[in-house]
Amino acid sequence: MYKPDVVKERTDMTHLTWKKGRESSGTTGTLLKSSFTDKEGVRHYYKLSDYSVTEGIIGHECVNELVCSRLLTILGVDCVSYRLLHALINVDGKEIDTWIAESLDFKKRGQSKIALDDYYEMNRLPEETPFDFCARMGWQEEICQMLAVDYLILNRDRHGANMEVLKNNAGEHLLSPLYDHGLSLLHDCRTQKAAAAFDVLDDWPVQSFFGGHSAEKNLQLIRKETIPSLRSPEKRDKEVLFKGLSGILPDIYYEKMWEMIEKRWRHYDRFIKNLRNK
């Protein structure tokens, strides 16, 4: 995990070139990505919050990436670590003072990687679902953890390239750590008024490679014998989740994020207890 994972001193990152990623929203706003390889050969990846040519930065997806990576670490889930950087960037010939999310390539030396959806299409059995395929590959624990996490943070964008399969030198195939959680939490709230009115238990439509368009209904894929191992979030974790983020977003966003995590965890905990009692 980055230490520190919030850098408030502004860094000149105008050398980066920003392009649309696969998860581009396709509307007036755009999620842009960039990357570069440092002198040690390490690949650095950067994400920009939702950007509009006419309005500039209109989203806060970069903050979501950091909060979610902190939350997953607390829960005990293998995930990519993010760092939030105060940066000066250049997009469309305009200099912008903003916040960007940085992560490092999780692929180790000698490993190769492929998007999970492509790997599934190449290796699945006839009529085998993505969930059943991953269970056959021995990845059931990781997928059930993912389903629980995506419910807690209301992840809207778990498409088949938001997980990858890594192949190591021994020929083993492993699932990548979880990454790409920008379209989650209060992603759709562009104003403080919208954040204050946001129903944290509302079941917004989601994109999921493993289930349907309901994060809550996708929990039904978890069975009694496949309940994932997760550490429950506690009140003391709130300080850890939002440390160093004061002033980057209005406080109402952080209060609502914590309310979402608390209330959704209680619902998830009831679901698991009922499952165990069946």
Distance of CA 182 to the CA centre of its chain: 5
Could you give the dihedral angle defined by the CA atoms of residues 122, 207, 34 and 12, in that order, rounded to the nearest 10 degrees?
-160
* pLDDT means over runs of 10, the chain (278 residues): 87 92 43 92 94 90 98 97 97 94 91 94 97 96 97 95 90 93 95 97 94 96 96 96 97 98 98 94
Evaluate whether 149 touches 141 at the Cβ level (below 8 Å). no
> Residue 35 burial (CB < 10 Å; 0-12/13-18/19+)?
middle
**Checking DSSP bridges between strand 157-158 and strand 207-208, what pairing results, if any?**
parallel
Give the residue from 268, 249, 230 showing the smallest Cα distance to 74.
230
Predicted model pTM: 0.94
Give the residue from 208, 155, 160, 183 showing the smallest Cα distance to 31.
183
**Hey, what domains does the chain have and what are their CATH numbers?**
6-104 (3.30.200), 112-276 (1.10.1070.20)
Measured in degrees and rounded to the nearest 5, phi and psi for residue 245 equal -100, -5
Kindly state the helix (H) or strand (E) to which residue 208 belongs, with its residue range: strand 207-208
> Residue 83 burial (CB < 10 Å; 0-12/13-18/19+)?
buried
pLDDT of residue 171: 83
**Checking DSSP bridges between strand 32-37 and strand 43-48, what pairing results, if any?**
antiparallel
